[in-house]
Amino acid sequence: MTIDNKQAIVKYNIQRLVVFIVIAVSVALLLIPDVLPLPITERKALLLPLLIALYLIYVGINLLRDIHFIQLETTNKHIKIRFVSVQPFKQGRKEIKVERKKLKGYKIEASNGGLQKNLILYVQTPKGTAKYPPISISLMPESKLAPFLKSLSA
C-alpha cells in the first residue's frame, strides 16, 4: 500500500503563492497611489504595517508547522517512509525503512501548540527499543493517514 500527501502539498503551494500575490499587489497599490487613486491609500501608514504583519504571521505559522511531502509505503516485510521538507532552506530527501517484525509501535504527537503533528516510530534493536526522529504529518489528510496507521498496528 502506498499513500502520499501530494494533493495537499499542491494546495498548500498554491495557497502560499496566492497569499503572496495578494499581499504584494496590495502593498504595490498602496505605495503607488498615483497609478490608481483609491480612497484607501490615505490610510497607508496604518495598512502597510498591518499587511506586512499579517503576511509575516502567515509565514511564521507555516514555518512552525514544518510541512513535509510524505510517501508512506507498506509491504508484508517492510515499512518505508520517504519525506522531504517543503520549507525554504531545508534540503535533503530522507527515507526510513523498517522491517515489520522489528517495529514495536508508533506514536502521534502534537507540537507547536497543535500546529504540527509528528509520527514517531519505535523499533527493536539489539540494545533495546529505539525511537526514530519525528516525521511531520501535518498535511497528511486523515482519510489517507488512518489506513496507514492501521497497517502499522497489524
Q: Count CB-CB contacts under 10 A for residue 145.
A: 18
Helix and strand counts by DSSP (H, E) for the chain: 3, 8
| This prediction's pTM | 0.77
The pLDDT assigned to 42 comes to 63
Distance CA 26, CA 48 (A): 9
Q: Count CB-CB contacts under 10 A for residue 25.
A: 10
Rounded mean pLDDT for each run of 10 residues along the chain, 154 residues in total: 86 93 86 66 75 92 86 87 84 86 90 85 91 87 84 75
Distance CA 126, CA 22 (A): 55
The pLDDT assigned to 5 comes to 85
Distance CA 30, CA 100 (A): 58
